[in-house]
Chains A and B, each alone.
Chain A
Amino acid sequence: MPSNILVVEDSRTTRKFLTVVLKGDGYHVITAENGIEALERLSSINVDAIVTDLNMPQMDGLEFIRAIRENDDYSRIPILLLTTEGEERGRKQGLEAGATAYMAKPIEPEVFLGAVKKLITVIGQ
């Protein structure tokens, strides 16, 4: 069974880019445009890892991560936070909020896939 990855990203370009990269490596991908949509997706499907952007309208990455960590059903799901370079403050806040790891854009596909694999095989166990 392929692992389910939830990609939460408001930019349709990056959402599509990440989806193509993940699908190319055999993952099943579920997408959402913001934290609220992502929580809706989580209520109907089990996911093995979450990849989320930091800056999003409606519910941003930090609020979303906090909501995940406060929910007993989802709190153990590993989360990779994506930030734009130069957002050191956001990264720190993300880790404090409960992100498992972070990665700065631009995203190098091989490095990204390595990070997702690590989330699932090492941290997600």
Chain B
Amino acid sequence: MKAEYVNPFLNGTVNVLKTMAFVDPKPGKPYVKQDKKAVGDISGVIGLTGSTKGAVVVSFSRECAMKVVSSMMGEQYTDLTDEVRDAVGEITNMVSGDARRSLAELGANFEAGIPTVVVGKGHEITSMGKGPCLAIPFKVDNFDMTVEISFE
């Protein structure tokens, strides 16, 4: 995976969450992830095809998902309801879109699939493909979220 693929996803995440959820995610140091186990409790997954094959996962801790979606929708969520799940899928969709625009400027063109959302502690993301997986951790206030990208 090319190192230049990281920043579009990092910046896309910050842009989407600042613009639509009015929160300020602080990125940490990206790391290589060895297993397919999701870091968070709820994850949005989108497959990417084009210049190469890949996937992006936007994974939130339970608290982080509720914080972000509550802020976005202007009402308090206290559980991972269908609405929170839908919002995580839509956020993943927009992060992927924002990143794809930046990737296109680098000459890498991708089409995105339909987002799926997986819920549960320690859930596995089986659609991440064969390539190495890079995880970018973020803090939203004190809550954790991670964006994982994988390209063949």
Contacts and interface: CB of A to CB of B under 8 A. Distances in A.
B95 to A, nearest CB: 9
Most buried by A among B19, B74, B94: B94
B71 to A, nearest CB: 11
B87 to A, nearest CB: 4
Most buried by B among A11, A16, A86, A105: A86
Contact of A86 (B72, B86, B97): B97
Given A11-B93, A13-B69, A105-B20, 13 more contacts: A12-B86, A13-B72, A13-B89, A16-B83, A17-B72, A85-B98, A85-B101, A86-B97, A86-B100, A87-B97, A106-B20, A106-B94, A108-B19
B15 interface: yes
Interface string B89-130: 110011011101100100000101000000000000000000
Nearest to B22: A109
Interface of B: 15-16, 19-20, 69, 72-74, 83, 86-87, 89-90, 93-94, 96-98, 100-101, 104, 110, 112
Q: Is the interface of B mostly helix, strand, loop or mixed?
A: helix
A20 B98 contact: no
B43 to A, nearest CB: 16
Q: Is the interface of A mostly helix, strand, loop or mixed?
A: mixed
A4 interface: no
B15 A106 contact: yes
Contacts of B90: 11, 13-14
Contacts of B72: 13, 17
28 contacts: A11-B86, A11-B89, A11-B90, A12-B83, A12-B86, A13-B72, A13-B86, A13-B90, A14-B90, A84-B93, A84-B94, A84-B112, A85-B97, A85-B100, A85-B101, A86-B96, A86-B97, A86-B98, A86-B100, A86-B101, A86-B110, A87-B97, A104-B97, A105-B93, A106-B15, A106-B19, A107-B19, A108-B19
Nearest to A24: B74
- Closest 8 interchain pairs by CB? A86-B100, A84-B97, A85-B97, A85-B101, A106-B19, A13-B87, A13-B90, A106-B20
Contacts of A107: 19-20
Contact of B16 (A16, A17, A20, A106): A106
Given A11-B86, A13-B86, A106-B15, A20 B73 contact: yes
Contacts of A87: 97
A16 B73 contact: yes
A17 B77 CA distance: 14
Contacts of A84: 93-94, 96-97, 112
